[in-house]
Amino acid sequence: MRLRCPLCGREYDKPVQRCSCGEPVEFESFKGEPYIGKTVWERFWDFWPVEPSLEFSLGEGDTPLIKSKIGEELGVKLYLKNETVNPTWSFKDRGTFLAMSYAVKAGYKAVGTVSTGNMAASVSAYASRFGLNAKILVSESANDEKVRAVSVYGGDVIRVRGDYGKLYFESLRLGEELGVYFINSDNPFRVDGYKGIAFEIAEEISPDYVLIPTSSGGLFRGIAKGFTELMRSGLIEELPTLVAVQAEGCSPICRAFHDGKERIEHFERPDTIAKAIANPYPPSGNAVLKLLRDFGWECVTVSDSEIIEAQRELAGEGLFVQPASATGISALKRLAESGVVPEGSKVVSILTGSGLKTLSHMEGREIKECPLEGLENCMSF
């Protein structure tokens, strides 16, 4: 590593901030061959049910897999799949992009979704990108700030009075009648779009466990499908153990799983800080239950206080995620401490969405104020 002053030409072998002549310094020019990469859509071209419309891509997918310090304390090798860097700051963009690629090819002029959070923003943004109209159906109680952030992309946001649980099915019925293609939480193209998460992980490591925050079940099904397709294609030799993670305050899938039930039941009075995964009657709940049973996978619930602690720990590593996205880390703690995840295991936790979308419950740290003269007095460690 060499730094050089572009004005006086002085060179430095260690990282100084500025040249002794007072001017800025810069690294010496590098010579090398650029790696002209292909996107995950192109690398796995034959795995998609419809040709991805690359001209409308916003750069979703190909997210970083980061080694985490949190794993060291737990005796495992922990990697974080950072989905918060997607164009609308959540994994939803992968599924939205693929489903909209289908919608334009099928001649739809309008798309829709039922959501109040990440999916609403994603569908609204991609509808603008694809040149489609968007109908975003949100619940009566949806938080104003979130709704405004969705409408900024140009989609029609409609607050619906009535039973929010019934809205999913009503949207599909109305969509057929009115020619609006609804891209809800477990739309089959959306679910297939999530396979890219499994493909990208498998390109880098062979995990033993993958922790997946789970609500409707679409994400879990997509990642499961991605790994099983890789296995069938002979690209990986073993499947990881997938862990569906739910909040204690809304855990219809884990409850049915632990009670040995065949089908999920409506979870009365959901109450958790992890609002993004608080679907009381997940449309893919039964499908997730079957996967858990068929493959001997796990379902784990975590409390709000464990979620907040995990969210803070991730922030302490530079990653600000929303409460729903921190649940994987809380679950890992339980599993590692109880010995279910053995020491030395390779574990991936999916960080599904950005914390900037859920600022209201966060308490930041104390902000210091200090006069410029005497600034050093405020900078003690």
Given candidates 110, 167, 324, 335, which one binds ligand PLP under the rule CB under 6 A? 324
Residue 335 binds ligand PLP, judged by CB under 6 A: no
Strand ranges for 103-213 from DSSP E: 110-114, 133-139, 156-160, 180-182, 209-213
Residues 137-196 binding ligand PLP (CB under 6 A) are 185
Looking at beta carbons only, is 235 or 362 nearer to ligand PLP?
362
Q: Which of residues 107-126 bind ligand PLP (CB under 6 A)?
A: 117-119
- CA–CA distance, 62 with 69 (Å, rounded to integer): 22
Cβ partners under 8 Å of residue 14, min gap 6: 1
Q: For residue 323, give the 3-state DSSP assignment.
A: helix
Cα–Cα nearest to 110, from 34, 206, 193, 175: 175
Instruction: Rule CB under 6 A: say whether 349 interacts with ligand PLP.
Output: no
Smallest gap from residue 284 Cβ to ligand PLP (A): 7
**Closest separation between CB of residue 337 and ligand PLP, Å?**
23
Least separation, in Å, of the C-beta of 380 and ligand PLP? Answer: 38
* Binder among 100, 277, 319, 335 for ligand PLP (CB under 6 A): 277
d(CA 326, CA 322): 7
Residue list 31-70, contact with ligand PLP (CB under 6 A): none
- Return the residue matching tokens 């939480």: 185
68 or 216, CB closer to ligand PLP? 216
Least distance from C-beta 95 to ligand PLP, angstroms? 8
- State the number of CA atoms in the 13 A half-sphere of 254 facing the CB: 22
Contacts of 204 (CB under 8 A, 6+ apart): 65
CA dist., res. 168 & res. 282, Å (int): 10
Among 122, 139, 246, 325, binds ligand PLP (CB under 6 A): 325
Among 322, 330, 345, 349, binds ligand PLP (CB under 6 A): 322
Pattern 197-226, ligand PLP, x by CB under 6 A: ----------------xxxxxxxx------
Cβ 350 vs Cβ 219: under 8 Å: yes
Contact between 95 and 222 (Cβ < 8 Å):
yes
CA distance 46 to 106: 19
Total residues at the site for ligand PLP (CB under 6 A)?
Answer: 20
Q: Which is nearer to ligand PLP, 155 or 213 (CB)?
A: 213
Among 134, 138, 264, 276, binds ligand PLP (CB under 6 A): 276
353 belongs to the binding site for ligand PLP (CB under 6 A)? yes
352 binds ligand PLP (CB under 6 A): yes
270 three-class SS: coil
Judge whether 91 and 40 are in contact, CB under 8 Å. Answer: no
Residues contributing to the site for ligand PLP (CB under 6 A): 90, 117-119, 185, 213-220, 276-277, 322, 324-325, 352-353
